[in-house]
Amino acid sequence: MFRYPSLFLLLFLLLACQNNETTDEATTEVITAPTLFDWPGIADQLLARMDLQAGEKVLLVGQTGEFDPLIPLLRERISAAGAEDLGAINVNGDEPEAWATEFTQGAADLSREQLRDYLADVDLGIMLPGAVPTHAPYAALQDILQEGRRRTIHFHWSGAYHLNGSEKTVDSTVHVFYQQVLAQTDYAALAAKQQTFEQAMRGQAIRVTTPKGTDISFQIGDRPVTKQDGNASAARAQQGQNLIDREVELPAGAIRVAPMEETVNGSIAFPDAEWNGQVVRGLVMNFENGKLSSFSAGQNEEAVQAVLDENGESARSFREFALGFNPQLAIEATGGEWIPYYGYGAGVVRLSLGDNTELGGQVTGGFVRWNFFTDATVVVGEETWVEDGSLVR
């Protein structure tokens, strides 16, 4: 096309210099126009999930530097819905002026125990990215949930994992992906699928197998099945039977249940993963009546033993069965390259070890270890629900 390529290059460079010499206003427009986050859209989705009632008291808990632009939008929408905006607590310390209210200022420097009383009348707490259960305001709200009162939204926005179970950095790809999931999830359909699966499990043996050798079965009896379907309404929270029934996670997708401990029998062949700072390969654990009876590994078996020794009976106990139902979070939606959002995608299985009291189980001790299985088959009674990692019902 160009007979004099060097002349074309010179013209291109001149134009580039001219573009860099535009006004500050123009430069700002160029930089900020294609924003990574649709903050108003995220705020609208969260408000829809809350189903706020007039007069409800709503508190945000966040961390500066994490999703700051979302906070004023949420506060505006909370007030517009007729609820009471209590402001936003910064878990890092002092609130920015735009976050603070008389209520949040009164919470400053209070201990977890003091916050438990101070926050007792908060109808809905929204845990934003950056806030975790080790922060006093978050922990105090969980204490209130454990007492069978109130509700929270746990707006994680993290929890991406590589296929080997190691944590993946939440980069721009993950940000865009999770926004799409939040907006595109069919919440009514998700709730219906989860309800049907719970009904199928009642009174049946559940068996999980994998190509590597997992073959474990259990029953749930009358244990509560937490259905993370995105419903954060007060009416739904009033029906909750345990902490996580009242802590609604967004994005949504998984059912979670602590099987009756005495019914858990069989073997789990774990994916290669890190234990005590070492990659353990070929790990197989055998369970009898919910307790670890023996284990072996092809490499770094001593690393597993170190974790068991450090954490006692909790680490030797079967904790939880979780199954993802959200097709928007399925591994296939990532091109098969990573596990989105804590394994909440359709067909992903979690077989966890440790404390299951938040689920209504009997195992105490505090230790928790999640383990992801992307190629499992799940049979309930005589019906196959998941085959080789794909939800088939």
Mean pLDDT score, 220-227: 97
CATH topology of domain 39-155: Thermophilic metalloprotease-like (3.40.1830)
Question: Could you read off the pLDDT of 153-167 as tens digits, one per residue?
Answer: 999 889 999 988 889
Question: Could you read off the pLDDT of 365-376 as tens digits, one per residue?
Answer: 999 999 999 999
Give the C-alpha separation, 9 to 3, whole Å: 12
Residue 45, CB half-sphere, CA atoms under 13 Å: how many? Answer: 22
Mean pLDDT score, 122-137: 96
Give the C-alpha separation, 304 to 254, whole Å: 28
Domain ranges of the chain: 39-155, 186-227+253-391
Q: Which residues contact 167 (CB under 8 A, 6 or more apart)?
A: 160, 161
Q: In the prediction, which pLDDT does 334 show? A: 94
Q: In the prediction, which pLDDT does 156 show? A: 84
| Residue 22 in this model has a pLDDT that exceeds 60 | no
The torsion defined by the Cα of 385, 341, 251 and 241, in degrees rounded to 10, comes to 70
